[in-house]
Amino acid sequence: MSNADCAPRSNTLEPPLLFRHALSSDAPPASLSALGLSIAANKGDHPQGVVLCKEAIRLAPEPIHYYHLGKVYLLSGKKHLALHAFRKGLKFGYHHGLAREIERLGFRRPPILPFLGRKHPLNRYAGILFSRLGLQ
């Protein structure tokens, strides 16, 4: 008998399936957003996760729902949309997860000359100069 035979078998897809059966037409928003994150994380169905999280936000715009939406966006590789969701969630109230994710992902100031690209030499050197002078 190998170690694999002794280990308990778990199915990572099982919780979302059980959770989905528990939902009814009048599901609470907290269940919808949690299900959206769970489906995106376990099944990789990011579009369905976004739909469920946005539905939860439509029903009750609370910071935790924006946190779940941002995490789904991060799982799908959409950092910009995730940051937008995290920042918007903070407008509805403080949530430590939102603040932590914003800090972890970093903050970039807008370019000095917005009509030029971020990597344009004028923007880069103007940003360095303004930063050293304490103007930015």
Contact 46, 54 (CB under 8 A): no
Q: Of 110, 114, 115, 46, nearest to 75 (Cα)?
A: 46
Mean pLDDT over 73-83 rounds to 94
pLDDT at residue 4 greater than cutoff 80: no
Contact 13, 32 (CB under 8 A): no
pLDDT of residue 132: 87
pLDDT of residue 67: 96
Q: Of 69, 15, 72, 66, nearest to 44 (Cα)?
A: 72
The SS3 assignment for 136 reads coil
Q: Domains in the chain, please, with CATH?
A: 3-105 (1.25.40.10), 109-136 (no CATH)
At 20-71, the pLDDT tens digits run 554 556 778 888 899 999 999 998 999 999 999 999 999 999 999 999 999 9
At 89-109, the pLDDT tens digits run 999 999 999 999 988 987 677
Residue 5, amino acid: D
Separation of alpha carbons 98 and 35, rounded Å = 18
* CB-based burial, 2-38: b 16+ in 10 Å, e otherwise: eeeeeeeeeeeeebbeeeeeeeeeebebebbbbbbbb
| pTM score, whole prediction | 0.67
